[in-house]
Structure 1
């Protein structure tokens, strides 16, 4: 049963009128004035479905234990204060964001602005509770020819012309309505999500600026910027530009875009709008900077960006490209630290260039491999460890954000995947991939203070290590073990000393530290991932909420020796909280989650006491409640859009956004 948060249901009006907020109870129950509404789902057996890439069962063999073996004791000496070298600039907690291919936005975000995907809200809420906010890009190849239309049949907000695809990824041209932007606005009101959008750049001489005009109006401060061209270095190869198309042609097209914006009276904010150049690898970033694009259009640019996947699986999809790679042969490439340091080396000059020009530097699209990833790699525990290491490597090298891509059912690498449409009415839910766990962990690594500085202090390519500082003092350690060794022989102990030793400072190792572990049986595992003892469930079983008992391990330190020894299993990731405040900052006392308010299953039934319903309907007395969107209310929530008669009041209390649940 596909679950949505309905923002236009009369019944939801009834429940909200009776209670200021509702606390979600066990699945398939709703609390209403102290009375449960028991919801009955269909018991019909689900039909078989073809295993799409998102559910591919391929399991690889983990790489062999290294020979020579990794050290089992790793000394880590940290200064207690005053650290100013070998650290990144301060990084915000929402560093690891999400890129959603525009063509699947209606599957991921919601059917429309009145029916939001509950699991997506929960997944975003998890990140917001730890980092304070989350950044999401809606775009990709499918943005390049997207066209705004006034309406689509049956309240649809997005449609694809699958008979007119183009490019090596067979991208379908899109049409969409303003309801897509209202959907994004409603999500922002509930989860503090901020957005990047893409300008359709297929015809750079006559760019449609409708998405800029309406995006600013509808999304307001939740709008971050607009991508001006997605991978323009591949335009010629994709048939979108002549074979002679160059960096200087792109420079000229940005100039044309800037002039069009200047002449468009419907665009209120004309500065700090665009993200450029978002190239892959055909052009170097330096070759674009050398055109003068930043100095010429600085006032119009929000950020500089690139896109990069470490590999591609395109030959598996398009035989004309040659023999496909064997995932087993390249699995090891994702499980050594030099993979990330080698990949980032192409961007060290550019991150410094961005800093010099006062612009964010964003990895605007990345994941394990282009063309949807590799079976057995992209959906394995190894991918979770790789994505974490890649993210921390980028943060250390002064990227300001990294957006990991989500495609459709045909992608192996998705952070999360809605269920196939033919399974929703039989209880199938979302599938949360390993890279979402990376995003969850990364939010805790950096925290909500926007002050974390990352230092790479790795000693062995199989066991990356990062120290996290705030204001020159260490707050956390991030410890990896890429090795799979069920014998336990490759577990290592990180022996931490703060102050003392060669630092010239007094001993400062605390009496104890807390540790959270990201665990699975093997780097090749396809499920049973846990973060601090909690999991997001098996394939087709997640509603976006963490389940299980939170397990934060307390490790006693030896202050007489000024050491603290942290075991790191093979495989695992361990986040060591060196101060109680660093743990508290990412430990929400309560997490706002979003229970189901509507589903696509018309076969379910619901019993409601008629006397409750008779007295509950309406919105009397709500005219002055903040958060309501009813005429005459005091709400300033102009982006909380309603599409049907009668508006929804979402109450906001100290606990956060308020929702109730029901199913039809």
Structure 2
């Protein structure tokens, strides 16, 4: 988006590229914006405006165009993408210089959009910052921008931070992008609290909201044989819940094609014939490609199903729990979900890597006896996220509640387990379970009805 321009008479979207595949400019046309109608009703968009070309006219034109063609689907504007990656000479590492230009642009864009009459946006229509956590010298994360007065005109609706704890942009960092490292709960938490949470705290102190505007596990489009394995699903769950417990409003998981020229030393590159190869941290490959093979879901698709169920009830709140006594907190995460001040669900994630040649299952037993009384008449159930081993890339042998989703549709019957009388839950290495203390799919009512008429529980 840092080099996008609008052509009102244009046909198809055009990418202007260099000989080695770098995208220098994307030229979009009205149908680009109208394509938002293909998304489910209620989907909202953040219109990211070109800040990279340092042209107020281009940025202003994109803003007016987006509200003209997308109507009330545009929820926010964002000026530029990752300004920390712009040329150093743009602002010479000066927060004040960046902020002065940001304010000038947003003020004039607001005036143009309001004059168009096509916008239903509130005055607090901007995402601010959208900076990475990389130390490139320009300090424009919310922890710096807010005290400097970026919101002096009350324009900011959400403060955005981009987050990638690992990278394959160069061989040195690529060596650290391993399954064992992305499944280290202690280090994931440490990264969040060092790089993200200071900005979150300042944002919350001024009564504003913050989100992870873009994130994934390994920058430069993922790490093959790591981010396309079952380990990525466990990483997604733990990372999103780490941010949720620190009051993030949203987390936006990055998807898409392998990007060219993110780094001259990047390990993960597009296909040799110049066509994209989809990022290995995506939740699916939308079409066949030379580099990635046939269209299909990746295993991390299952993590989205897990998270959707975890937050399915409105007004759900979540907090982190300590690891049980004797369990290594570096390799285990637990989260309690609350609705109306009662526990409704519990997520348990055993992050110890379990391989095909592992000599132990690394199973952890968690005693829930102190919580089972909160269930619907003692009816406590759970769904299990599991695979045959942590480094599998096969969606056919990776299951959420007994079902695989190799093409996005469930295969086989759903398996919902009932917690036994001992109130203990076993979680093997490289597994996660979601425990339901509330009724799930009416099964608790069926159980009660079966008791009344003396039908055995295994009959329903």
TM-score by shorter chain over 0.5? yes
Corresponding residue for residue 406 of structure 1: 255
Displacement after TM superposition at 1:324 (Å): 6.0
Give the aligned partner of residue 200 of structure 1. Answer: 50
Q: Distance in 2 between matches of 1:362 and 1:273?
A: 14
Deviations 1:163-186 (A, max 9, x none): 2889xxx44310111212211123
TM alignment of 1:385-404, pairs within 5 A: 385-404=234-253
Which structure would you say has the larger Rg? 1
Aligned partner (choices 64, 76, 80) of residue 229 of structure 1: 80
1:297 alignment partner in structure 2: 153
If asked which structure has higher relative contact order (CA below 8 Å, sep 6+), I would say 1
1:173 counterpart residue number: 25
Secondary structure of the structure 1 residue equivalent to 2:217? coil
**Cα contact 1:388–1:442 (8 A) shared by 2:** yes
1:378, distance to aligned residue in structure 2 (A): 0.9
Q: How many Å separate the matches in 2 of 1:388 and 1:262?
A: 37
In structure 1, distance between residues paired with 2:435 and 2:104: 50
8 Å Cα contact 2:222-2:281 kept in structure 1: yes
Looking at structure 2, the residues matched to 174 and 429 of structure 1 have their Cα atoms a distance apart, in angstroms, of: 27
Q: Which residue of 2 aligns with 1:315?
A: 170
* Residue 183, structure 1, aligned to residue 35, structure 2: yes
Displacement after TM superposition at 1:270 (Å):
6.1
Structure 2 residue 90 is the aligned partner of structure 1 residue 242? yes
SS in 2 for 1:575: strand
- RMSD across aligned positions (CA): 2.7
Count of matched residue positions in the alignment of Structure 1 and Structure 2: 402
Unaligned runs of 5+ in 1: 1-142, 317-322, 501-506, 559-563, 586-664
For 1:324 and 1:350, locate their aligned partners in 2 and report how far apart those are by CA, in whole Å: 25
Which residue of structure 2 lines up, in the alignment, with residue 467 of structure 1? 336
- 1:376 touches 1:524 (CA, 8 Å); kept in 2? yes
Question: How much does 1:584 deviate?
Answer: 6.2
Q: 1:377 aligns with which of 215, 226, 238?
A: 226
Distance 1:372 1:422, change over 3 A: closer
Are 1:218 and 2:218 counterparts?
A: no
- Residue 419 in 1 paired to residue 270 in 2? no
Distance 1:355 1:165 in 2: 44
C-alpha distance 404-165 of structure 1, shift in aligned 2 (>3 A) = farther
Deviations along 1:458-487, one digit per CA (max 9) or x if unpaired, are 312211111111111000000111124455
Residue 253 of structure 1 corresponds to 101
Q: Contact 1:162–1:172 (CA<8 Å) still a contact in 2? A: yes
CA contact (8 A) 1:164 1:173 kept: no
Among 420, 439, 457, the alignment partner of 1:580 is 439
TM-score, normalised relative to structure 2: 0.80
Q: 1:324 to 1:456 in 2, by over 3 A?
A: closer
CA distance in 2, matches of 1:565, 1:223: 47
> Structure 2: how far apart are the matches of 1:416 and 1:499?
37
TM-score (norm 1): 0.57
Q: Where in structure 2 are there 5+ consecutive unaligned residues? A: 258-276, 324-328, 444-460
Q: Tell me, yes or no, if the aligned pair for 2:234 and 2:430 is still in contact at 8 Å.
A: no
1:275 is matched with 127
Q: Distance in 1 between matches of 2:371 and 2:283?
A: 39
What SS does the corresponding residue of 1:193 show, helix, strand or coil?
coil
- Cα offset for 1:232? 1.1
The structural deviation recorded for 1:206 is 1.4
| Maintained 8 Å contact 2:343/2:374 | no
Q: Which residue of 2 aligns with 1:457?
A: 321
- CA distance in 2 between counterparts of 1:164 and 1:255 reads 36
**Could you say what secondary structure the match of 1:293 adopts?**
coil
CA contact (8 A) 2:381 2:436 kept: yes
Deviation at 1:557, TM superposition (A): 3.2
